[in-house]
Structure 1
Amino acid sequence: MKVALLGATGRVGTEILSFLLNDKYEVSTLTRTPEKIHTTSPLLSVIKGDAKNYEDIQNVIDGNDLVISALNTDGSDTLSITTPHLIKAMKKKGLHRIITIGTAGILQSRIEPEVFRFQSSESRRKTTRAAEEHLRVFQQLNASSLNWTIVCPTYLPDGKLTKKYRYAADFLPEAGREISVQDTAHFAFKQIENQEFVKKRVGISY
């Protein structure tokens, strides 16, 4: 299977890339800074480009079977610009499956289920800018015909790969406080073969 991976130089993306290559997937990545990808493999193709550019998105997904996006907000509107490019390009190329990394802020609040976590007292974030950007991505994907899954980790420190974590559709597991970068990447990677959370947000934590 061939996978197009965005955000391969980020914390979660780097770990996802390792899982993919270790499991013998062919991987195409798109990055503005190819020198930041320190992994070399005959299974890996690194394309220099910008995810905000539609032509670059077309190039990286061409010939692949699915897309994984571990892009972060980058302090800007990167995600909400890139996602419509992905939707358009995937439709054109006949691709349907996309797995993205979001944030627990866009899950429903357990305290106030009618609103998102970042809009409720359940969230401890002082700023909502990143959550609002991730929300735009959720809305864009939800309005599309793609088979999407948004993996929504809570506090995301570097840690260990345990493969032992809790998850729930649309909500953060009760009393969830954190999840390591490594376990978040592992769960996202596992969604390639898992259809349980198609067209779902998935909260993940210990």
Structure 2
Amino acid sequence: MALRLTVFGATGGIGQEIVKQGLAAGHEVTAVVRDPARLTASGPGLEVFRADLTDPGTLRPAVAGRDVVLSGLGARSRKEAGVATRVTVPVLRAMEAERVRRLLVVSAAPVGPVPEGEPFLDRAVRAVISTVLKDIYADLGALEAELARSATDWTAVRPPKLTDGPLTGTYRTAVGGTPRSGRTISRADVAHAMLALAMDAATVRRGVGVAY
């Protein structure tokens, strides 16, 4: 079934993949960008929407009448901690104003629960990463709290370490949990998971762990 999609963060690693894979699947895709020159995807069904992400009013036309909104917005480094919540809240407000409900965002595995029976080494690695990147994960935790308070049918997709590996379509998912010993996943496969989960009612208002 062809869907009408809006993609925020469309020039980022995951966002570019969502746009490309969405177009390849025959969906209509609106790519919301600050700099259209950074968008490499093209083809029939693509609309490029240039917008200021801090103003919900300017975002309303980008989400109006859409079936699903997908966001790859987030911090690219520790210096950008706080950006995920700051730029996603206006998206929530625009969706609520336009009565658009379905939203998928990228969060991170450490925001989710520790897998039952996780080996000691994996727990130790998780603890170190969570300490080093605590500001980023605090931001994502705040984002998920904003989602929970919103009127949207959200899903927070929680990957571990992201890679630039190829699209495989083969990975594990855990609704409300975290795949055990899941250490990496490619950005392409995160995008694939988000598109696959878009119409999955079982993931509405839930976090979903994804990993190899």
**TM-score between both structures, scaled by the size of structure 2:** 0.87
Partner of 1:46: 48
Deviation string for 1:89-130 (max 9, x for gaps)? 212211110011111121012479xxxxx9x97333112111
Structure-2 separation of matches of 1:40 and 1:204: 27
Aligned residue-pair number: 201
The answer (yes or no) to whether the contact 1:52–1:78 under 8 Å persists in 2 is: no
1:200 matched to 2:206: yes
Partner of 1:115: none
1:104 matched to 2:109: yes
Q: Judging by fraction of residues, say which structure has more helix.
A: 2
Moved over 4 A (4+): none
The answer (yes or no) to whether the contact 1:53–1:82 under 8 Å persists in 2 is: no
1:93 matched to 2:95: no
1:64 to 54, 66, 74: 66
Aligned-pair distance for 1:78? 2.6
CA root-mean-square deviation: 2.1
Structure-1 separation of matches of 2:88 and 2:133: 22
Structure-1 separation of matches of 2:81 and 2:184: 24
1:140 matched to 2:146: yes
Partner of 2:120: none
Structure-2 separation of matches of 1:50 and 1:124: 36
Q: 2:127 corresponds to which letter in structure 1?
A: S
Partner of 1:186: 192
Deviation string for 1:39-85 (max 9, x for gaps)? 22231111112212222321311232221011122514332123322
Partner of 1:37: 39
Structure-1 separation of matches of 2:116 and 2:72: 28
Partner of 1:4: 6
Structure-2 separation of matches of 1:10 and 1:87: 20
**TM-score between both structures, scaled by the size of structure 1:** 0.89
1:162 to 145, 164, 168: 168
Which is worse superposed, 79-88 or 158-167? 79-88
User: Share of identical aligned residues, percent?
Assistant: 26
Structure 1 residue runs of 5 or longer lacking an equivalent are 113-117
SS of residue matched to 1:179: strand
The answer (yes or no) to whether the contact 1:97–1:146 under 8 Å persists in 2 is: yes
Structure 2 residue runs of 5 or longer lacking an equivalent are 118-122
